[in-house]
Amino acid sequence: MTKSSSSSTVIKAEKLNLDFETNDGVVHALRDLDLEIEAGEFVSFIGPSGCGKTTFLRVIADLETPTAGSIAVNGQTPDQARLARAYGYVFQAPALLSWRTINRNISLPLEIMGLSRAEQQERVERTINLVGLDGFGGKFPWQLSGGMQQRASIARALAFDADLMLMDEPFGALDEIVRDHLNEQVLQLWKKTGKTICFVTHSIPEAVYLSTKIVVMSPRPGRITDVITSDLPDDRPLDIRETPKFLEIAQRVREGLREGHADE
Partner 1 sequence: MTETLKQKVLPVLTIVAAIGVIWYGFTVYLNAPWQIDQYEKSATEWSMNDLVRDTMAHDRPVLPAPHQVVVEIWKTTVQKKITSKRSLIYHSWITLSSTLLGFVMGTFTGMMLAIFIVENRAMDKSLMPWIITSQTVPILAIAPMIIVVLNAVGLSGLLPKALISTYLSFFPIAVGMVKGLRSPDPMLIDLMRTYNTSRWQLFFALRLPSSVPYLFTSMKIAIAISLVGAIVGELPTGAVAGLGARLLSGSYYGQTIQIWSALLTAATLAALLVIAVNIAAQITQRMMGVPK
Binding residue for partner 1 (CB under 8 A) from 23, 49, 98, 116? 98
Confirm or reject binding of residue 140 to partner 1 (CB under 8 A): yes
Rounded to whole angstroms, the Cα distance separating 27 from 64 reads 14
- Asked if 85 and 113 touch (Cβ cutoff 8 Å), the reply is yes
Confirm or reject binding of residue 20 to partner 1 (CB under 8 A): no
Confirm or reject binding of residue 148 to partner 1 (CB under 8 A): no
Task: Show the binding pattern over residues 33-72: x = contacts partner 1 (CB under 8 A), - = does not.
Answer: ----------------------------xxx---------
The CB-of-229 to partner 1 minimum distance in angstroms stands at: 29
Confirm or reject binding of residue 91 to partner 1 (CB under 8 A): yes
User: CA 49, 52, 55, 61: dihedral to nearest 10 degrees?
Assistant: -120
- Using CB under 8 A as the binding rule, the residues of this chain from 243 to 262 that contact partner 1 are none
Q: Give the 3-state secondary structure of residue 221.
A: coil
- Asked if 39 and 163 touch (Cβ cutoff 8 Å), the reply is yes
Nearest to 64 by CA among 37, 27, 96: 27
Q: Which stretch binds partner 1 (CB under 8 A): 33-41, 104-112, 197-205, 209-217?
A: 104-112
- Using CB under 8 A as the binding rule, the residues of this chain from 158 to 197 that contact partner 1 are 160
Residue (41 or 62) nearer to partner 1, CB: 62
HSE, side-chain direction, 13 A CA sphere, residue 31: 14
Residue 73 burial by Cβ neighbours in a 10 Å radius (0-12, 13-18, 19+): buried
Which residues of the chain form contacts with partner 1 (CB under 8 A)? 61-63, 82-83, 85, 87-89, 91-93, 95, 97-101, 108-109, 111-113, 140-142, 160
